Amino acid sequence: MGRPSLKRALLRAGIVRPSPDAPPAGRKNRGVAPPPLVFLPGEAPVPEPPPADLAALFGRSAPVELEIGPGRARFLLARAREHPERDFLGAEMEEEYALIAQARAERLGLTNVRFLRLDGKAFVRRLTPGSLSALHVYFPDPWPKKRHHKRRLFDAAFAADAARALAGGALLRAASDHAEYWEVIREVLDAEPGLAPVGEDEAGAWEAGTSYEAKFLRQGRPIQRGIWRRGPRA
């Protein structure tokens, strides 16, 4: 009864609904990206536009942490297990990874985690101001070729959107193994007036514990990490 009633509530609220924009099957539509998917525990994926009301998505009012690009969600699922009083959202572009992550969440019996197949950068732009209690971005694609730099997640616009989406005092944690991209990340976040860098002595020491982090540590690759805090909201 619980899951169907939640789905009906989301449908009534317009948070989850069949998308009219799904491209029809056929040769001419090969390569056309499908609409975003939201994965509700125990239910089939449902095409839908990104929700603005996170409380409606989770069916309760609780602090929400977002990870952009969780992959198979090793970090996010561990965090959801440790903090049942919080809700966790993964924005993942790769549908295969989102499906794997959701299957793992269901096996673990987690009801406080959701996965969305969508572009995290655009999603953060749509969030209600102050709606996130934390934002995690670990090992985003560095797009090393100069002609691809426009595809990178971190730029001044994203930093401003992230600051707007974070609640006062909330943390943005980031990590990268790519030295040049890390300088870009650090510069754009340091330049954002709504964010201030904080040290581990203040925010607490941490490791992301992602699959990429474990792989890079095994390879002996240097990893850069940083923490930024959202200033008090007016």
Q: Which residues are catalytic?
A: 141
Contact (Cβ atoms closer than 8 angstroms) between residue 73 and residue 104: yes
**Six token digits for residue 79:** 């965090």
**Six token digits for residue 199:** 């040290």
The runs of H, that is alpha helices, within the chain are 2-13, 54-58, 74-82, 95-107, 120-126, 156-165, 179-191, 200-203, 211-219
Contact (Cβ atoms closer than 8 angstroms) between residue 97 and residue 129: no
- Rounded distance between C-alpha atoms, residue 206 and residue 225, angstroms: 9
Residue 22's SS3 state is coil
Q: Which residues contact 223 (CB under 8 A, 6 or more apart)?
A: 175, 176, 177, 213, 216, 217
